[in-house]
Amino acid sequence: MTITDFTDDPVIGGLVATFRDLTPELEANVLLAQSEDRHRRLMRVIPDAVIIVEDGVFTFGNDAAVAMCGVASEDELVGMPMSRFQTPDVVADSMVFGRRFRETGVTDGPLVAWMHRIDGTPVRVELTPATVPGNDRSLLLVMRDVTEHDRLIAELAESEATGRFLTENSTDILLRVSDDHRIVFGSPAMHAILGHHPEDLVGIDIHDMIEAEDLGLFDAALEQALAAGAAEPVEVRATTVTEGGFVWVEASVRTVEVTNEDDLVRGYHITLRDITGERADRLALAASERRMRTLVGTAPIGIFELDPNGQCTFVNERYCEIVGVDGCEDVMGSQWTRLIHRDDRDAMFTYWSEAVITLAHVHLTTRFVRPDGGVVQTEIGVVPVLDGDTIVSWLGTVDDIRPCRSRACSPRGGGPLPRRLRPCADRSHVDERRSLRAATADGQLRGDADHRAHSGAVVEVQLPQRHPSRRRHGHVGRLGCDGFRRDRDPPDGDSPALSW
């Protein structure tokens, strides 16, 4: 309302009031205030930094801009030059970028550049410009922190490069197969193993690569993978480029889910590992084990194995027949030593103790007392199984040599001692034994083999060359073996028991 004084006017002679409807204007002001409030709130919450720069100086910055620049508040930011947060080369690029935008109104895309916070921390940002209506000197910039994004992109590129390198250099065939069993991708190893170029097989059915006789096993692996996500590896034959040729491969199948044009597609990742050589070795090993098992089971001599501590772990049937036991359990562990004739145990102790120290191959003659009271004369040969200087086990043979004797031994040890344990009137063998023990300490053999043979030497010991640094007692300690020993109180009260 507007009031005008027309009192002096002879016609009007009073006050005139003019009324104007302000409702639309007031409503417009309210809406404008509400819009400004919404935009101010939006400026506060959006994650992107929004700044207005006039003549290179900040005139406005939202909360994200304050945080990105590392200042305390908008008041501190306003009035600062933008170059304060840029390196000289970035300043030049920004000026060219802004000038081009003012002249053309368009850009080739956002400007990605490095800036630094007030404390010097580098930040990689993406700048998108916009005009400020009514002010040609001002420029509105939207800045987005892309430091983490670029880091993830770099890691993804590195991971992809690593995966590509591993795929291209893998010795196994790597296949990606669609849910309808069509090959989508094949690694270069396909050409090296099967002779096929990977690109030539893209689109064909994976079943065309498998021999017909193995399709049932392969399909079972596919079904197991569909049900459980992965299948147990199966051995099948994959066809080669050569007519009628194939290669034995181990197929490992697992399912994967791939997003393709907003559709979730399930497929397979299949790895084919060439096992032709490995399978041949495995079959050869199995054949060798069958041969050895047959030989050990049918050998005319007894065969036994002891652990490093002298505990029996295996004997064949012939061993049980020679010593007269019903089953192998009767001689397992230390029980086999109880069957050694009591007059031969000291000799056994002496010679085998030397073998443990020197890692020698031992051949000696001794007697076993069978459970039925009979005495059987045997010749024993034992060799250590070594892993470096460590005894893993002992392998030995026992041969019944009674038919080779001119007279048989009576039960209970009444007959003569075996030749190799029999004392001899000729004392030369005593000197021979002393020389042998001296050689054992030095890791060498001295003496004449023929002289030992004619002098009735008690034992034949084949000693390997021992390293000079291998001390006698220290070596025994490393093996953890003290040889046979006498128990002071024999369990049966008759003859001393022997243990390792």
Whether residues 122 and 234 share a domain: the answer is no
Whether residues 108 and 208 share a domain: the answer is no
The domain of 418 spans 299-499
29, part of any domain? no
Whether residues 55 and 85 share a domain: the answer is yes
Tell me which of 279, 308, 342 is where a domain ends: 279
Per-residue model confidence as pLDDT tens digits over 85-107:
887 778 777 778 877 777 777 77
At 237, the pLDDT band (50, 70, 90 cuts) reads very high
The per-residue pLDDT for 249 is 95
Whether residues 224 and 126 share a domain: the answer is no
28, part of any domain? no
Residue 138 pLDDT greater than 80, yes or no = yes
Report the run of H or E that residue 247 belongs to, with start and end: strand 246-260
Determine the average pLDDT of the residues in 309-327. 90
What are 46's two structure tokens?
């959006």
Distance CA 167, CA 173 (A): 9
Whether residues 361 and 428 share a domain: the answer is yes
Average pLDDT, the chain: 77
38, part of any domain? no
Residue 495 pLDDT greater than 50, yes or no = no
Quick one: residue 362, left, alpha or beta (phi over 0 = left, psi -120 to 50 = alpha)?
beta
Tell me which of 119, 150, 181 is where a domain ends: 150
Q: What are phi and psi of 298, to 5 degrees?
A: -110, 5
Whether residues 316 and 231 share a domain: the answer is no
Tell me which of 120, 150, 180 is where a domain ends: 150
Residue 222's Cβ-side half-sphere holds a number of Cα atoms within 13 Å equal to 17
259, part of any domain? yes
**Mode of pairing for the β-strands spanning 14-18 and 122-132:** unpaired
Whether residues 138 and 177 share a domain: the answer is no
Distance CA 143, CA 125 (A): 6
Whether residues 73 and 105 share a domain: the answer is yes
244, part of any domain? yes
495, part of any domain? yes
Residue 318 pLDDT greater than 60, yes or no = yes
Other beta carbons within 10 angstroms of residue 18's beta carbon come to: 8
C-alpha torsion sign, points 92, 97, 101, 104: positive
The CATH number covering residue 386 comes to 3.30.450.20
Determine the average pLDDT of the residues in 54-65. 88
Per-residue model confidence as pLDDT tens digits over 389-435:
888 999 999 999 876 543 344 333 334 444 333 333 444 444 554 45
Whether residues 373 and 455 share a domain: the answer is yes
Residue 42 pLDDT greater than 50, yes or no = yes
204, part of any domain? yes
Distance CA 60, CA 85 (A): 15
Whether residues 115 and 245 share a domain: the answer is no
Burial class (CB within 10 angstroms; exposed 0-12, middle 13-18, buried 19+) of 33? exposed
Whether residues 419 and 451 share a domain: the answer is yes
- DSSP state, residue 7: T
The per-residue pLDDT for 211 is 93
Question: Is the distance from CB of 64 to CB of 47 less than 8 angstroms?
Answer: yes
What are 288's two structure tokens?
């060798």
Overall number of domains in the chain: 3
377, part of any domain? yes
Whether residues 271 and 135 share a domain: the answer is no
